[in-house]
Structure 1
């Protein structure tokens, strides 16, 4: 029996599984590094909780006990929870017209907690428990409503989350205030002893320095501080010769500006998936006619150039399109985009052609994290070329599958 358990659960997971079974708790929070095993454990605990709820309901003669399964969206619930359970245990989920399902005799209501409109699905219900996946991404008002809805006899709430800003409400109000009813356990990536050693080593080597390493490897709730791109090294990432670079395609990032700098940056992408910034236009006090003319010059210079544009000025994007340019909306997720650019610096897949990088040089060392805030933010100064770079790289990587080939040949 012990050997079988050792194949299913890590030592850390077994310890938590055993320990919480001896306590009468209300909220359990598993938090820490990515790929550390916290969600896999919560998925198993979710099944155990449903079996427990069914027994309580039988004692109370409740025919259809309800349980809340919450995630940022229904698609993330499906990806993080349902597919994993189906693959591991062969569970075939049968959804009703509301997108809910019955499992172990318990009616499970799916709720998206990322937006306030998720409240409508649970208002008025009496739940015998909840499983909140990616809890730090939850709207606090929705989380509070989930907690208040868990009023059935013996109700419990399972939570798992990656670390976030140390001022986040989940940490300050729950993790930092443990009681007999609020339990929390921290995970590092090293707790997941099932991880392939090669994958683990590659992950460590390719995770950007600073905040991303502290959170994604060691599971610490830390804020960003100082320079955003800590792995940038002018002796490595500046290049001065493009003669031996063969570009397979070209992309551009566009950050609109007038009182502050506007910027267009162009990247050539090589056969080895290196991103090389080969052109930069950055100016203030310029109207859209001027920007459209500069964009057309770049379009003539670089074949099949795609412009990923800041969505703040949709009318400017329309102008580009009307002028025959391939202009598209950029993905503006800040932290995800910064992390992707930082990975490219870390893995030596992002280079800057120094002769053209006038505004880049003014921004790179002054692009810093904002202090004393409850959310991860960069100071909105010296960020125009940085934003344009992020728009181009992050959106292009999403459109092309989002995989970076590292210098060791691994994919992340």
Structure 2
């Protein structure tokens, strides 16, 4: 229905938004190919030999993964890139441009485009999005947009999706709208998606803010283990997460992973008013003496502290600190019952886990009761995405499990 309408009717902007894995991008990829054919016909009628079109994503990597590789896999189309990393398809010159930061403006400023395809639009810098729209001044130009939901105050929702402008059409997608998904996959996704905001967004496609406790699925009865339990489990690797602090708690956690991919928070070291050189380095060295030269995924906000760890021959690495991605990764492990904590021996964790709550208006947690939980987030997300001890095949499996 959507494809038929978009091919037969006129419009300026199409926005497909909603839950993950609902076919939004697949639909837009097909429409993108149709748009290029249409653009070439319009340009030829005006004796324009090389019409330009903007293809935009959060980064060039996401364009490759979400659009170009998918088109190659589906239709066998091969893309050849010039020195500017752009390509020509169906006689249309496609300019690839990121949109996540204001720096991406330079790639498109001043050009006249016959259309644009904006992938993952909720991640776009608003000024860059507006500039892409302004560049689409060629005859009959149209803009394809797809995105997952964000918070209900997001400019894309308020200014475009909810707009009464006749040239904008939008469609909302839920997981169940994708009839090509197997029942097994759909069931697994629903069962492993964290409760609350993540379920509302990723399953039902709603633009909602978080509400209440961040890790709402944590259950002491399910997720607490004892030292005796841990002694019976063979870990395949260990690593640490480090959140620096002084007035607020600094924290180092030790995490182990077993052969089944279960994550165990084994040790917590959380203290106030400790010096890095005199206190935290000795604590870290004791951890190394016990577990080997394991990585310490550190908060990069204090690079001088990371350097001190490194100078003391500790395997200190800047952590992957993406907040929402990290929280979703930990929350998914909790919901999937693949996350366990040495609960009785982690007093700071016990205090934080039930007090770590979403901000009422911002799309992030309140910056309180988050010290140990931040170090856990750094450790888990960094292990999934950065650990050089994890084979690429296993990394991919882990990312698939988390729906990332």
TM-score (norm. length: structure 2): 0.94
For 1:344-388, what per-residue CA distance to the aligned partner results, in whole angstroms no more than 9, with x for missing partners? Answer: 111111111123111001100010000123xx1111110000000
Provide Cα deviations, 1:211-260, integer angstroms capped at 9, x if missing partner.
11111111111111100001100111112232322222211110000011
- What secondary structure, in the 3-state scheme, does the structure 2 residue paired with 1:397 have? helix
Deviation at 1:96, TM superposition (A): 1.3
Q: Would you say 1:138 and 2:127 are equivalent positions?
A: no
Q: Does 1:92 align with 2:78?
A: yes
2:332–2:402 CA contact under 8 A, matched in 1: no
CA distance in 1, matches of 2:399, 2:197: 22
Name structure 1 gaps, 5 residues minimum: 1-14
Q: Which runs of 4+ in 1 moved over 4 A?
A: none
Does structure 1 residue 328 correspond to structure 2 residue 317?
yes
1:128 to 102, 114, 120: 114
Q: Deviation string for 1:310-343 (max 9, x for gaps)?
A: 0011111111111121111110000000001001
Deviation sequence 1:63-115 (CA, Å, 0-9, x none): 11111111111111111111111111111212111111111111111111112
2:294 corresponding residue in structure 1: 305
How do 1:329-408 residues align onto structure 2 when only pairs under 5 Å count? 329-373=318-362, 376-398=363-385, 399=387, 400=390, 401=395, 403-404=397-398
Q: TM-score normalized by structure 1?
A: 0.92
**Distance (Å, rounded) in 1 between the aligned partners of 2:260 and 2:44:** 61
- 2:175 is the counterpart of 1:181: no
Query: Contact 1:249–1:303 (CA<8 Å) still a contact in 2?
Result: no
Picking from 192, 197, 221, the partner of 1:206 is 192
User: Secondary structure of 1:58's partner?
Assistant: helix
Q: Output the CA distance in 1 between the equivalents of 2:280 and 2:154.
A: 40
Q: Do residues 223 (structure 1) and 223 (structure 2) align?
A: no
Instruction: State the Cα distance separating 1:405 from its structure 2 match.
Output: 10
Task: Tell me the SS of whatever aligns to 1:269.
Answer: strand
* Aligned-partner Cα distance in 2 for 1:324–1:350: 30
- 1:382 and 1:192 map into 2 onto residues whose CA distance is 39
SS in 2 for 1:318: helix
Question: Partners in 1 of 2:402 and 2:355 — Cα distance?
Answer: 31
In the alignment, which of 277, 286, 297 is matched to residue 265 of structure 2?
A: 277
Bigger mean CA deviation after superposition, 298-307 or 160-169? 298-307
> Deviations 1:272-331 (Å, cap 9, x if unpaired)?
222111111111111112111111112112223221110011111111111121111110
Unaligned runs of 5+ in 2: none
Match of 1:75 among 61, 64, 69: 61
Q: Distance in 2 between matches of 1:147 and 1:245?
A: 56
Indicate the residue corresponding to 2:241 in structure 1.
Answer: 253
Which region of structure 1 is more displaced relative to structure 2, 119-128 or 395-404? Answer: 395-404
Q: Tell me how large the CA RMSD over aligned residues is.
A: 1.5
